[in-house]
Amino acid sequence: MAHILVVEDDEQFRGMLVQMLTQDSHRVTIAHDGDEGVRLSQQLRPDLIITDIIMPHKDGIELIMELSNLSVDIPIIAMSGGRRAISAEFNLESATLIGVKSTLAKPFTRNDLRQAIRQALA
């Protein structure tokens, strides 16, 4: 199916996501933070990036902006919980403003995930 780069700092959540994606027969690569995400995106050119928004070091928004500055044109799905008086929707809103294809608010269902992927790859 597709080659997907998962950028997520929470190990358990990342593990869950990888399970779901591989079961749907996607090829998955993982990155643990924004920096690694940018590097792997450039090196591997995956079909799709699924990234968390709030991460230490480089967060998801920075990753998305950096990729667009580097003219790396890969569809992105942004996921978020929410923190510091910023709700999930708000974070996701700012992500869409900078060209994210679809968004997911944690926690989400398997169906939400499939739908987001379909939408991003369409």
Long-range contacts of 118-121 (CB under 8 A, 24+ apart): 120/48, 120/75, 120/76, 120/77, 121/2, 121/47, 121/48, 121/75
Residue 119 near other proteins by CB under 8 A = no
Choosing from 107, 114, 118, 119, the residue that interacts with other proteins (CB under 8 A) is 107
Question: Please, which of residues 11-40 interact with other proteins by CB under 8 A?
Answer: 12-13, 15-17, 19-20, 23
Of 85 and 122, CB closest to other proteins: 85
Choosing from 108, 114, 118, 119, the residue that interacts with other proteins (CB under 8 A) is 108
Residue with tokens 């933070």: 33
In contact, 46 and 6? CB cutoff 8 Å: no
In contact, 64 and 102? CB cutoff 8 Å: no
Going residue by residue from 51 to 90, which x/- string records binding to other proteins, judged by CB under 8 A?
Answer: ---x-------------------------xxxxxxxxx-x
